[in-house]
Chains A and B, each alone.
Chain A
Amino acid sequence: MTSETLCAACGFCPAAGDGERTVTGVFTGDLLSWAMGRAKEGDIWFTVMGNVNTVAVAALADCACVVLCHEAVWDEVAVQRAAQQGVTLYTTDLPEFEASFLAATRLGLTPPAP
């Protein structure tokens, strides 16, 4: 499923990029030093960190898109950088857990074994 299809189904608002990348997983977290080694290629990433550095980490990790939760606002520089680097950004009023849960459900992901 592409970012565009998934995020439209979840009601997330587009902020930058074309949304053409296919989403294959979900990553949720805010500290970029943690995200750098843990967000995976094709992930839809849920965070509240609207800084331009988030865009750089998403590009490095090759995430499908980034969704800014809890009504947080993307910094202007972040939106510009995303447009330059082809990173797709969204926003949502939902908290990170709800937004992640919604996306995981739409993607048909199953819970990890306990």
Chain B
Amino acid sequence: MLKRFCMWGLAFWLSVPAFAQLKAEDVQSFTLKNGMKIFVLEDHSIPNANMYLFWNVGSRNEKQGITGLSHFFEHMMFNGAKKYGPKQFDQVMEFNGGQNNAYTSQDMTVYTDFFPATALESIFDLEADRIRDLALDPKMIESERGVVHSEYTTGLENSPEEELDQAMLSVAFSQHPYMWSVIGYESDILNWKREDLVNYFKTYYAPNNAITFIVGDVKLADVKRLAEQYFEPIPVLAPAPPVVHNKEPEQKGERRVMVNRDVPSPYVQIAYHTPEARHPDYYALDLLSAILSRGQSSRLYKALVDTQIASEAYTSFAPSIDPYLFSFTAQASDGKTADTLEAALLAEVDKVVKTGVTEAELEKVKNQKVMDFYRSIQTNNGKANTLGRYERYFGDYRKFFTASEDYRNVTVADIQRVAKTYFKKSNRTIGVLQKETE
């Protein structure tokens, strides 16, 4: 997830909830005439509030030539509109005690405002201006291009994992736009045109292509009045945004990718194609990921890290709109080869496929999920972000409130079944990043 601005040094959130009292019915919602749906959760524990706008556009909506444009567009949303020119969005928001950020993923672009509740109206005013009348000033495009190029460079420079991830995506996907990373190709970053941005704005930034969550010290009636005043006049753009029709075909054979980089020990990643968030197997796969790699009692830790084969080992599985990947990544311990590491990872894959998991392991990760829910909504920001992502990924924010039940229903047989179904040799890509060996 690429963020507009990385605020280092703000060591924040860890731990604990406000979930016990929170119910699905506490979330209120209404739909404006232009199709924008707005959700409100009143919480008066601190005199602050937030606004999260989830746009249904991300790197999966791109094509080659404009890779990374969703993320670049996210940056440009801060660079001036009609009423508030360049810099004024931030100047006005900060003068009113607020701050903002944004992030882009494969599937969505999310804009976030955090402010004292007294600033609610000016936040509506600011958002409405840029949603309706973004300026896309050529001078601002050029300086922002430098910013994003710096973001691209610093990401690769400081992260071998990023370099391996990019290589893996380019091989694991042959047709679906998930094949490039959210930041895009460097050659596209350096060559996007203003008209690409203008087209993007016309195509995707219509009010019926967004949902808004507002959580905090606000009243529904005030939010409704302001939404009608500021957001409702923004016209619907026709036609509706194009549907992404690319489907990744079934993978028919193991794929491999090698990357040379000066690292102290090799990295190995193994990725399997797995289904999207709305698929019934999502919950079993998510729990399996936790069984494999969460905490020092997890399988990968015990089998690879504790035994000194790897210095770290983890799995990655997250909700997605289209089928994505379940991946295993590890870095070798001093003196251990990529082959040793790969064999150790594959042995753990085989073990799950052949013998499944235990009741105790499953019970453990179900307990962890309950604590996760508490932790994810301990703050206003956690609530807005989590509820919005459920609405977008699972089609209904209420799924958040029934997720405990959905996890609870998963059995050890389900876990073994999904492992067998997806962890097949022909369905995997293996990537190795290490020093040049010849």
A and B from one complex = no
**Residues of A participating in the B interface, judged by any CB pair closer than 8 Å:** none
**Residues of B with Cβ closer than 8 Å to A?**
none
